[in-house]
Amino acid sequence: MHLRILIVFALSLFLLGCNGENHTINDGYAEDNNVYQINTGEDYINSVPEQQTQPYRQEENFPEQRRGWEILTEKERKMLSECNDVLFSFSPVPIDSITNIEPIGEANPPEHTLASISSDTYIAVEETTTLVAPGDIWIILIQPRYGVTQDPEDHVIKYAMCKDIYGVVDHVKGFSPEMQQIVDNFECPDQNTEPGDDRCPILSMVPVKAGTPLGKVGGMQGNFNFGTWDLRVNHAYISPKRHGQLSLHSTCPFDYYGSPLKEQLMGKIKRQDEGRCGTVLHDIPGTLQGDWFIGDATIMRPSDWGKLLFLGHDNDFPEQLLIVASGIFVERPTKWFITPEKSGMKNRDFGEVKDYEIYCYDNEGDEEYRNYEKGKTEGRILIQLSSKNELKIEHQNDLCKAGNWQFKSPVTYIR
């Protein structure tokens, strides 16, 4: 159906660029001669000089429609600046409130069976705190959600920084007055829908200055998603059509910060190797490693969660193999940690398996990361490549040391 797009744009010299330097706070905007004052509310951003912005005008009928909620039309993209290297100048929350940052690519069934579904970092905070715009941004989508988690509110905000780079914050526990104003002013073309539901997404082009409050994060959940995607980055999945916009173009959000803030935020990640920010891409062609699917399954449909299989490495402990599935050959969502072997046919690193022999995987109960497992934890899993893009897999009750590595009723996955 027709999606009505709320377009707000500047009438004067106020231009939101993608340069992360010399930011000022947006301390108000005017619409139809009604001025809405913005209260920054946080001491840690009060040192930024204020700037009175010019009024904006709402365009009621935007002729183009987006192909996806977060995919801007060409006319919308023309409103944005070219991209610079440094786009962010504010931590999304005060640095000292961050207790941990989890890298991109957590595989956790059933919602995140594949690491490629977790395209954002997770920032843990010690208590509920104010979330601010990390740079000069344009709000392109707000998705209000109520009563879906242990917290009463659990919203999503997506934004653009420049023509090619976009960001998302998920699990927002309450809107700031600025964001609530966008929600309240939005009208659905169908009176039987409400702003933010599946038939009436709140699509917008609203400029916001760096440091402007967006809402609150933390709550009972204690963490929130902070991610970015860059249209100039194209991850080389074996089956890209099975992946969504964010997974195809996912990037590390801290790469858009300058020093010393970049190093301060990266320092909150416990992982210390070169890939410490994590990755969504694990596919290695011609091997067992990567994302696997049954039939035409994709990561975009919740009904396909049970048809996904991940064979890769953990985002927090990259030295560990993961076998993650949400059904079919196991009766419940299952996640196994396994210490890889560099030789032989037991617990062999997935990226090294290129032949068509049967390999056996198990964890006999004394591994360091066994307590991280979930679902079916006993027995063994047999896996065999049957072609470059097809494998057979089966869970059995015996351990690998029992021998007789033969399939009885395997399940086939493809990619």
**DSSP designation for 184:** H
Q: Residue 191: give its domain's CATH number.
A: 2.70.70.10
Residue 140 lies in a domain: yes
Tokens of 293: 């699917």
Based on the structure, what is the number of domains in the chain? 2
Burial (CB count within 10 angstroms: exposed 0-12, middle 13-18, buried 19+), residue 346: middle
Peptide linkage before 177 cis (omega within 30 of 0): no
pLDDT at residue 40, rounded to an integer: 26
> Are 124 and 159 within one domain?
yes
Tokens of 112: 């995140």
Residues 6+ apart with CB under 8 A from 168: 70, 120, 156, 157, 158, 159, 225, 226, 227, 228, 229, 246
Q: What is the largest CA-CA distance in the chain?
A: 79
Q: How far is CA 195 from CA 95, 183, 206, 236, in A?
A: 33, 7, 16, 36
pLDDT at residue 366, rounded to an integer: 62
User: What distance in Å separates the CA atoms of residue 248 and residue 245, rounded to the nearest whole number?
Assistant: 5
> Are 235 and 302 within one domain?
no
Residue 182 lies in a domain: yes
- Identify the domain boundary among 205, 232, 266: 266
Q: How far is CA 370 from CA 111, 132, 190, 335, 339, in A?
A: 21, 38, 51, 10, 10
Question: What kind and span of H or E run contains 99?
Answer: strand 98-102
**pLDDT digit of tens for each residue in the chain (415 aa)?**
443 434 333 333 333 333 333 322 222 222 222 222 222 223 222 222 233 233 223 334 344 688 889 999 999 999 999 999 999 999 999 999 999 999 999 999 999 999 999 999 999 999 999 999 999 999 999 999 999 999 999 999 999 999 999 999 999 999 999 999 999 999 888 888 888 888 888 999 999 999 999 999 999 999 999 999 999 999 999 999 999 999 999 999 999 999 999 999 999 999 989 899 999 999 999 999 999 999 999 999 999 999 999 999 999 999 999 999 998 999 999 999 999 999 999 999 999 999 999 999 998 766 677 666 888 888 999 999 999 999 999 999 999 999 999 999 999 999 9
- Identify the domain boundary among 250, 266, 282: 266
User: What distance in Å separates the CA atoms of residue 368 and residue 155, rounded to the nearest whole number?
Assistant: 36
pLDDT at residue 35, rounded to an integer: 25
Residue 312 lies in a domain: yes
What type of residue sits at position 379?
A: G
Residue 272 lies in a domain: no
User: What distance in Å separates the CA atoms of residue 324 and residue 217, rounded to the nearest whole number?
Assistant: 29
Residue 363 lies in a domain: yes
Residue 357 lies in a domain: yes
Query: For 257, what's the count of Cα atoms within 13 Å in the CB-facing half-sphere?
Result: 18
> Alpha carbon 136 to chain centroid distance?
20
> Are 260 and 354 within one domain?
no
pLDDT at residue 65, rounded to an integer: 85
Residues 6+ apart with CB under 8 A from 172: 131, 153, 154, 155, 156, 157, 214, 215, 216, 217, 224
- Determine the structural domain holding residue 378 and report its residue range: 290-414
User: What distance in Å separates the CA atoms of residue 156 and residue 168, rounded to the nearest whole number?
Assistant: 7
> Are 261 and 348 within one domain?
no
